[in-house]
């Protein structure tokens, strides 16, 4: 399974930010989130929203990749880089934290 | 938290012990105020700024003004001035300059005092046949021009500045300030030209001059949410947006969003989930008005 440079690896456990630091709503399978510290609004596309919703603070990225691969009928290797990039972006925007 | 960008006050001549005219209590959403005028000032010039908010009838006694605006006549240098609780807001040799300062302060105070009670979105709004249309956009996008076109075509007026949503019901409370038309829109509304000539930065246009009436009680939750944008020479068209995109845009248009982010986000989402949401690209005002009428008709048909 491939990895990207940086802190996000398949072994990290991402967790969504919590209120009041992060407020979010899911609207028709897309997430709109408010990062209170940075005073920034974000709208996530459906794929990013799905990954965000899977950041439950329990599930390692490796398992998330496997579950998404199964859902989309794709080999894990094919989607892992995209998932790692998405989680890295979510972390960079302060929407998830990495454990 | 929004604060009023007040300017330093200066030493002034004492206020008169009696005023030539008083508006009585006025209410605009949660902002309450009174305007008093010194003798020699043209009181009629105040009407566009003050008249929509004067309290009538039984509510008169229950309204305690938060702010008293004082309009002073010309001093020895010929300058007129407006004050808010003794602090100078605006001064100049023309009534227009003073009215602009007064209108600015009232608008800012309405926002500051009302964001706890309402979800306030930077939007215009009008209603027809029980269908409330919201036009949400940044400044200079054509909100006021579009809502003026809607009023002229039969809509009732709600606001051209801030849509006030009850966070529990999403009903919209009117904030029916007099429309402020920029020069670029003046040729579209020749019937609204000021009756008294003189240099102006904006036209103050009362809704009745467009043949419209003003909503005096909360109107229904928004059923049509449009994000207008005037683009010279463009084809006028409605471009649907997803509920999530609409939620994001409505949140972005919410005044002082950070003060109640959870409430504001949920309200934006609730409106976006239930309303018809679209971008309205405007190349021609009359065509845009016609498209909005079609959207209203479709919403009515959908409920039958």
Question: Are B265 and A34 in contact (CB < 8 Å)?
Answer: yes
pLDDT at residue B10, rounded to an integer: 47
Q: For A21, which DSSP code?
A: T
A34 to chain B nearest CA, in Å? 7
Please indicate whether, in this complex, the C-beta atoms of B243 and A43 are within 8 angstroms of each other: no
pLDDT band at B4 (very low <50, low <70, confident <90, very high): very low
Helix (H, G, I), strand (E, B) or coil at B208: helix
Answer yes or no: is pLDDT of B29 > 80. Answer: yes
**Whether residue B11 has pLDDT greater than 60:** no
Q: Which of B247, B252, B257 sits opposite A25 (nearest CB)?
A: B247
So what's the ipTM on this one? Answer: 0.90
Residues of chain A in contact with residue B248, where contact means CB-CB under 8 angstroms, are 32, 41, 43
Q: How far apart are CA B158 and CA B119, in angstroms?
A: 15
Minimal Cα distance from B252: which residue of A? A41
HEC profile of B134-198: EEECCCCCCHHHHHHHHHHCCCEEEECCEEEECCCCCCEECECCCEEECHHHHHHCHHHCCCCCC
CA distance A22 to A40: 10
Closest CA relative to residue B111, chosen from B90, B119, A52: B119
> Which chain B residues are closer than 8 Å to A28 by Cβ?
242-244, 273
- The answer, yes or no, to whether the previous bond of A20 is cis (omega within 30 of 0) is yes
Write down the pLDDT at residue B59.
62
In B, minimum Cα distance to A42 occurs at: B248
Q: For residue B258, which residues of chain A lie inside 8 Å, CB to CB?
A: 36, 39
Domains of chain B, by residue range, sit at 21-114, 119-303
A27, A30, A41: residue with CB nearest B252: A41
pLDDT at B100 over 90: no
A→B contacts (Cβ < 8 Å), by residue, are 19-20, 23-25, 27-32, 34, 36, 39, 41, 43
> What is the distance in angstroms between the Cα of B170 and the nearest Cα belonging to chain A?
17
* B 214-273 → A contacts, CB under 8 A: 242-245, 247-248, 251-252, 257-258, 261-262, 265-266, 268-269, 272-273
Chain B residue nearest residue A26, CA to CA: B244
Q: Using CA atoms, how far apart are residues A29 and A48, in angstroms rounded to an integer?
A: 10
Nearest CA-CA distance, residue B60 and chain A, Å: 40
Instruction: Give CA–CA dist B258/B115, Å, rounded.
Output: 11
pLDDT of residue B198: 63
Q: How confident is the model at residue A61 (pLDDT cuts 50, 70, 90)?
A: very high
CA A26: distance to chain centroid? 14
**Rounded to 5 degrees, what are φ and ψ at B179?**
-65, 140
Q: Which residue has the higher pLDDT, B62 or B159?
A: B159
**Under 8 Å between Cβ of B49 and B103:** yes
Is there a contact between B248 and A23 if contact means CB atoms under 8 Å apart?
no
Place of tokens 């509510």: B59
When CB atoms are compared, the residue of B258, B268, B269 closest to A39 is B258
The mean of the pLDDT values for chain B is 90
The DSSP string of B38-81 is: -TTS-GGGGHHHHGGGB--GGGGTT---SEEEEEE---TTS-EE
The pLDDT score that the predictor gives to residue B95 is: 80
- Average pLDDT rounded to a whole number, residues B104-112: 95
pLDDT at B171: 98
Count of residues making up chain A: 99
pLDDT tops 90 at residue B63: no
């Amino acid at each position: 399974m491939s990895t990207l440079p940086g802190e996000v690896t398949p072994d990290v456990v991402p967790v969504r930010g919590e209120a009041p630091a992060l407020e979010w709503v899911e609207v028709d399978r897309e997430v709109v989130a408010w990062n209170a510290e940075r005073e920034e609004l974000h709208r996530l596309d459906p794929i990013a929203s799905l990954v965000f919703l899977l950041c439950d603070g329990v599930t390692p990225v490796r398992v998330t990749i496997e579950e998404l691969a199964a859902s989309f009928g794709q080999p894990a290797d094919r989607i892992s880089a995209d998932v790692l990039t998405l989680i890295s972006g979510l972390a960079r925007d302060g929407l998830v934290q990495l454990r | 938290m929004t604060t009023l960008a007040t300017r330093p006050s200066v030493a002034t001549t004492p206020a008169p012990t009696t005023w030539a005219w008083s508006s009585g209590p006025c209410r605009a959403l949660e902002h309450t105020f009174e305007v008093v005028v010194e003798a020699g000032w043209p009181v009629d010039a105040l009407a566009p700024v003050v008249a929509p908010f004067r309290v009538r009838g039984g509510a008169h006694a229950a309204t305690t003004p938060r702010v008293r605006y004082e309009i002073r006549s010309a001093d020895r240098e010929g300058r007129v001035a407006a004050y808010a609780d003794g602090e100078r807001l605006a001064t100049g040799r023309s009534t227009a300059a003073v009215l602009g300062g007064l209108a600015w302060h009232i608008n800012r105070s309405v926002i500051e005092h009302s964001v706890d009670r309402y979800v306030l979105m930077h939007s215009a709004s009008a209603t027809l046949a029980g269908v409330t249309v919201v036009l949400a956009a940044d400044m200079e996008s054509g909100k006021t021009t579009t809502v003026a076109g809607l009023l002229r075509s039969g809509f009732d007026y709600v606001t051209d500045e801030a849509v006030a949503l009850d966070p529990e019901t999403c009903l919209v409370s009117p904030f029916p300030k007099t429309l402020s038309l920029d020069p670029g829109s003046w040729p579209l509304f020749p019937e609204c030209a000021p009756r008294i000539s003189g240099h102006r930065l904006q036209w103050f246009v009362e809704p009745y001059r467009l043949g419209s009436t003003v909503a005096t009680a909360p109107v229904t939750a928004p059923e049509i949410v449009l994000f207008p944008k005037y683009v010279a020479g463009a084809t006028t068209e409605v471009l649907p947006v997803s509920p999530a995109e609409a939620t994001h845009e409505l949140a972005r248009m919410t005044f002082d969003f950070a003060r109640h982010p959870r409430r504001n986000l949920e309200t934006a989402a609730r409106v976006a989930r239930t309303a018809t949401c679209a971008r309205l690209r405007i190349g021609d005002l009359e065509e845009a008005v016609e498209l909005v009428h079609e959207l209203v008709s479709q919403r009515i048909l959908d409920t039958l």
